[in-house]
Chains A and B, each alone.
Chain A
Amino acid sequence: MKAFLILEDGHVFTGTSIGADREVISEIVFNTSMTGYLEVLTDPSYAGQAVVMTYPLIGNYGICHEDMESDRTWVDGFIVRELSRIPSNFRSRDTIQHFLAKHDIPGIAGIDTRALTRILRENGTMNGMITTDEHFSLEEVIARLKAYAAGKVVERVTCKAPYILPGDGFRTALLDLGAKENISRSLHQRGCQVTVYPAAASAQEILSGQPDGIMLSNGPGDPKECVSIIEEIRTLYQTDIPIFAICLGHQLMALATGADTYKLKYGHRGGNHPVRDLETGKVYITSQNHGYAVDADSLDPAIAVPAFENVNDGTNEGLRYIGKNIVTVQFHPEACPGPRDCAYLFDRFLKMMEVKSHA
């Protein structure tokens, strides 16, 4: 079946419908990872977005369910150049085609994804519609696209109630703002007992568990929308409990302590972004997925200083909080998909908790 991708700026791409054939409007973003489509589809940070994969051949290794980063898909839509006719991998239990249909993800294949990416790069992230209705009125669709805003995405993706991953090591609290599974897994594998809290959990609730450390997860959307969560994080900041935050968690901590965030033209989504550790000068290749960033110029140097920066565009990639046991990063040390070079940050978090518990 024919499908169309209509962009806010009037561009129309014609391709073939994949997955569900329902119509969807979403923010269109591109991801440059060459592998890891299942991780992308199931990453809660993509809630409210339709993802374009820049790598043209998708679905080659089928669906390996254990690679899912949450128990369902979150993307609004999936845009690819070509889906593989057959999957080939010893772990694959499903085809991408069937998986998309089963999870009711609308998508489009057979379009020039590179041309689309170039549009997004030049004109910035924008809204788009995937539809199979050939008789759309462009004008009408554009008006709808311009009016569209996702909103309240964190509420959608967070867990409904707290739960515990048992462990003998440090008691860590994980505030689930849309956490990828590999965050809790990374802590759990290091022996931590992980208590996962819904995004709406109060600081009090988290602190009452007497955690050795607190982890603020990644998540979708505009950080500034998370007004009440920011409030709670401000309370967490005021304790002396070690805190490690990733992506949205990093942005919320910055907002909670008076810094500002802004929307990037087309974001960073992929597995090849170089990040410099400003303390050691060492450069790491990181997994990234964010459309917003902390404005380094807005930082009060008495509160927080940049700890990491992006080598490509100089944007802030992490903060170190003065007089605090708090480290926050914009990138994804939990990888999945992407390089695992920064997994050491979880070890560092364990060290922070260790120092604290010996203090």
Chain B
Amino acid sequence: MPRNPEIKKVLVIGSGPIVIGQAAEFDYAGTQACRSLKEEGIEVVLLNSNPATIMTDKDIADRVYIEPLTVEVAEQLILKEQPDSVLPTLGGQAGLNLAMELEERGFLRAHQVKLIGTTAETIKKAEDRLEFKRTMEKIGEPVAASLVVETVEDGIAFTNQIGYPVVLRPAYTLGGSGGGIARNQEELEEILSNGLRLSRVGQVLVERCIAGWKEIEYEVMRDGAGNCITICNMENIDPVGVHTGDSIVVAPSQTLGDKEYQMLRTSALNIISELKITGGCNVQYALDPESFEYCVIEVNPRVSRSSALASKAAGYPIARVAAKIAAGYTLDEIPNAITGRTKASFEPMLDYCVVKLPRLPFDKFISAKRTLTTQMKATGEVMSICDNFEGALMKAVRSLEQHVDSLMSCDFSDLTEEAILKKLEIVDDRRIWLMAEALRKGISCEEIHRLTRIDLWFIDKIALLVEMEQTLRTQELTPELLKEAKRIEFPDEVIARLTGKTREAVKEMRLRNGITAAYKMVDTCAAEFAAATPYYYSVFGSENEAVRTRGRKKVLVLGSGPIRIGQGIEFDFCCVHCTWAFAREGYETIIVNNNPETVSTDFDIADKLYFEPLTPEDVEHIVELEHPDGAVVQFGGQTAIKLTEALMKMGVPILGTSAENVDAAEDRRLFDQILEECRIPRPKGHTVYTAEEAKQAARELGYPVLVRPSYVLGGQGMQIAISDEDVEEFIGIINRTAQDHPILVDKYLQGKEIEVDAVCDGEEILIPGIMEHIERAGIHSGDSISVYPARSISSHVKAVIEEYTRRLARSLHVIGLINIQFIAVGEEVYVIEVNPRSSRTVPYISKVTGIPIVPLAARVIAGHKLRELGCEPGLQKEADYYAVKMPVFSFEKIRGADISLGPEMKSTGECLGIARTFHEALYKAFLGAGIRLPRHKNLIMTVRDEDKEEAAVLARRFEVLGYRIYATKGTARALLEADVSVRLTRKLEQESPNILDLILGHKIDLVIDTPSQGVEHSHDGFVIRRNAIETGVNVLTSIDTAKALAESLEHTDAEDLTLIDIAGIGTGS
């Protein structure tokens, strides 16, 4: 079937802010799909509230609306843009749910807009638990005994029939939100009541627990003519019971014979055919390891995180092909872009092994439970490719960037055998390290298998790695042994440690014996056909297929690794745009990255893609082959910056700002010198190494002080200390992780926090705009609401900021991007942080000003001057609308995480509100972040003493807005004194009904709870905030955020929002 000519203008719905369970993979999928549609001459209208994405670029879609993903906005947008079709299956669960709501309300039909790709009927069949079960029963596909319940009582009754444990899965939630395994009635009641509330339709599936079975996934595709193919199957190393997003996953499956493989493949194709899916689909199975019995766990009728992984693992561009199918093509009409000579209607054959590891955020949420369940907790993932499993696992481990480079990195050697056995039963993020320690202690593979239910094949592979450690420790390092250690991807560093040699000696021995990395191509066809796409992975002991190209200048772009809190999708945006800009400058571009969810690891972004860990050794192997003319490190976040020194040692010129100057910005002494030279004040501070020095520094500066490690991103480990005890505790936490760098102690200034990103060509600067934070200094910039243009600072302050930026950029000899954070106290401006590299706000400021600063920076790095590029240097004219960047959190996903905001970043994503007026922009930003008020018009306030005065004023505003205000004793007294009518509620430790009952009663819209500074010694606030989050109540922990919310509610008419096409902003360059 040729392309459907009736499709001329398509609305693509994105997935909104990055949250756990819905991350960068949808930017990857959406971007690929939009490009695929545009290739067909179809006009693409994009709706996505996330400004950090590549899909919301004007190069990707024709019309770009960074607006809240609400039905009202979508309807208004459809009326404005008049698309003929909506593509719902590329924006994750959020996009799918929105499309379904539009469909269910009859809006699409009424306006003659079609859903293309998969139909609403299909989506319903796959997503609605009951319909899904019925459909599976109809075609004889087994599902675990289950019942959809709408009340806790029904759930208990059913579970009493089928027996504990049971798995609970709320309908229409992402990342398994609100789900879990209940082993007894108490757990059942807790998880079920929570799940019922979180489900959009108030349904939860109670299911026979098949924990311990193998979890297998199939990625399948079907076109409108009914042709079906499998892209890839994947086996979760962790058996059923852990969310696949948190599991270690291997592709293809390793422990399935052809009989099992084909049985499940046939089943997946039967399901996709029966559901009449047109596009991509993910089917998850539980397979009894002792028989051919299996159950269908779940079907996702859309592209998903798993499909992004499958795309990268198999080399098959699922989203691209799904978009073509939606446009009407059949699989055999769509070319296989990787080989260039075969068609999309074939099944990829892998001749390598792929391992995915989740990136879990427990380094950010120290108080959180590390246990892994059916509720996804990972913020991102890494993937690695090798021709053996051990090697792929080793590479994936060191890609995590969590101070791990082998199975020895998490030390469990103190544990007794008994303790290990006990701990093995619990799945957490460090279980593979625990398994390795168990093997070292002589616990048998069978015993580990009995406790973990992990297939023996995988345990044996871990045993092989442990045996290699032992061999290296005890035997002489012969060339043969070294070769074998490298084959299974032991880093030189680890070999050196185990053999007592230096890293250099190991490397030297390697080179002398010709043991070097070779690169193989991911070609979708196991070498059966010559492939046109240079997508490579490394192996040792093989023929090298990657050809060192010559002729054009060659630039190495280092990616940003796994998505984590503090280093998100923004840096992928920067890497991709930098790559494109260098390509336009005539460079050959090479990307190195290991994140399967990103656009940068798509096969057609750079001239060459190396899917590799971002460690000095792994990068060096590539450098030795490619001999790049330079490397760009300023776009890939800390991951890339950290490689600077190593790259210089390899003799690779760092393009743009030099390494010394990057260092100068981080090194306190050098930086102070520069500030002095530039006559720029900064909060007083000291560099210290010990707790004693820190306390001394703090006392000299006067509390409160900021304590933080140098060389981190996202304020990791940064805290505001108000006492010596705080300082001691924080230093302790910082020193828990390996810390080669000093610790900084600064005077904490409370003022307006201001941020700029600028491009500098060494002489002149260009500042697209000044951003102002709504929250006072002290809350991490990534967690603050950011407003462009800054509205509460004087033109004098703006001029000072421009001037300081110019001075700093010049004296740091910045070539490329620089990000500076200031604090304005009255008319005084202080510099608090300078990062001579791209930042989190770069995509946002680029989009809302229409000034593409990444391409500009890249061209400056390539040798151009700003004026040459047609830019008028200096601070650019302010736009005539406001743009508000709102942080978005995933607290409900992480049990036990403290949600109070502080200097350490906790948000996982962001959304944008843009409008002609500040208030509307702010309102849209809150809306996009999921804060939809009012529902019940009830709110609870409990604030620290120093906020009480402001709280009273704030409470009165909410009162005028019609809210009923509840407060605990202290806050209530303050409010009463200010004549606000308030209802007193009992504190947590008092008898019921108390504040907790109020929250759990599902009648509260909002909790405003400002915790006291420093280490919070009261447990109450924590419990209140956790319960509120888990009950789906909005919680604000800064009085400034609450004020902003009140302001937006006071001034905005929710019915009448204006929509702004970002693609129309600015003139570009």
Contact = CB atoms under 8 A, between A and B. Distances in A.
Nearest to B389: A57
A272 B265 CA distance: 12
A34 B349 contact: yes
A34 B226 contact: no
Contacts, number: 161
Q: Which has the most chain B C-beta neighbours within 10 Å: A91, A113, A339?
A: A339
A16 to B, nearest CB: 12
A312 B348 CA distance: 13
A98 B261 CA distance: 24
Nearest to A120: B527
Q: Which of B228, B230, B347, B527 has the most CB of A within 10 A?
A: B527
A232 to B, nearest CB: 33
Interface stretch (B75-83, B399-407, B452-460): B452-460
Given A32-B349, A56-B351, A57-B254, A67 B259 contact: yes
A56 B388 contact: yes
Given A34-B252, A283-B331, A56 B387 contact: yes
Contacts of A57: 254, 353, 388-389
Interface string A23-59: 0000000101111101100000000000000111100
Contacts of B291: 90
A117 B526 contact: yes
Interface string B283-311: 00000011100000000000000000000
Contact of A121 (B259, B349, B528): B528
Contacts of B266: 339-341
Contacts of B792: none
Interface string A61-102: 100100100000000000001101111111100000000000
B520 A114 contact: yes
Interface stretch (A131-139, A152-160, A207-215, A273-281): A273-281
Interface of B is mostly: loop
Contacts of B520: 114
Contacts of B269: 341
B472 interface: no
Interface stretch (B35-43, B321-329, B338-346, B799-807): B338-346
Contacts of B526: 32, 54-55, 114, 117, 270
A282 interface: yes
Interface string B240-274: 00000000000011111111011001100100000
Contacts of B201: none
A52 to B, nearest CB: 10
B257 A89 contact: yes
Q: Which of A34, A113, A284 has the most chain B CB within a 10 Å cutoff? A: A34
A91 to B, nearest CB: 7
Contacts of B529: 121, 312
A285 interface: yes
A337 B259 CA distance: 8
B434 to A, nearest CB: 21
B539 to A, nearest CB: 8
A282 B520 CA distance: 34
Max count, chain A CB within 10 A of own CB: residue among B228, B256, B262, B389: B262
A284 B225 CA distance: 12
A178 interface: no
A209 to B, nearest CB: 32
A86 B457 contact: yes
A36 B258 contact: yes
Interface residues of B, number: 56
A173 to B, nearest CB: 28
Contacts of B455: 88
Interface in B515-532: 520, 525-530
A266 B541 CA distance: 26
A112 B346 contact: no
B262 A338 contact: yes
Contacts of B342: 311-312
A226 B642 CA distance: 67
A118 interface: yes
A311 B527 contact: no
B921 interface: no
B229 interface: yes
B344 to A, nearest CB: 9
Contacts of B255: 60-61, 88-89
B350 interface: yes
A307 to B, nearest CB: 16
Majority-rule SS of A interface residues: loop
Contacts of A82: 387-388
A194 to B, nearest CB: 22
Contact of A55 (B256, B343, B350): B350
B464 interface: yes
Residue of B266, B290, B331, B457 with most partner-chain A CB within 10 A = B457
Given A274-B343, A340-B262, A117 B256 contact: no
B349 A33 contact: yes
Nearest to B348: A272
Interface string B213-232: 00000000000011111100
B263 to A, nearest CB: 9
Interface string A116-127: 011001000000
A79 to B, nearest CB: 13
Contact of A90 (B289, B330, B525): B289
B65 interface: no
A115 interface: yes
A274 B543 contact: no
A34 B527 CA distance: 13
B1053 interface: no
B332 interface: yes
Contacts of A242: none
B830 interface: no
A199 interface: no
Contacts of B530: 121
Contacts of B470: none
Contacts of A271: 347, 349
A272 B527 contact: no
B345 A35 contact: no
Contacts of A335: 262
Nearest to B339: A312
B258 A54 contact: no
Interface string A334-359: 01111111000000000000000000
Nearest to A269: B528
Contact of A64 (B254, B259, B265, B332): B259
Given A35-B257, A274-B343, A282-B225, A81 B387 contact: yes
Contacts of A38: 257-258
B464 A85 contact: yes
B387 A114 contact: yes
Contact of B345 (A60, A88, A311): A311
Contacts of A113: 351
A281 B225 contact: yes
B258 A115 contact: no
A115 B261 CA distance: 27
B690 interface: no
B513 interface: no
B229 A285 contact: yes
Interface in A292-329: 311-312
Nearest to B259: A67
B380 to A, nearest CB: 27
Nearest to B289: A90
8 contacts: A54-B527, A57-B353, A64-B257, A82-B387, A90-B290, A117-B528, A312-B343, A339-B265
Given A121-B527, A285-B347, 14 more contacts: A35-B257, A36-B258, A64-B259, A67-B257, A81-B388, A88-B457, A114-B543, A117-B527, A270-B349, A272-B346, A283-B227, A285-B346, A311-B343, A337-B258
Q: Which 5 A-B pairs have the closest CB atoms?
A: A36-B258, A272-B347, A88-B457, A115-B543, A54-B526
Interface of A: 30, 32-36, 38-39, 54-57, 60-61, 64, 67, 81-82, 84-91, 112-115, 117-118, 121, 270-274, 276, 281-285, 311-312, 335-341
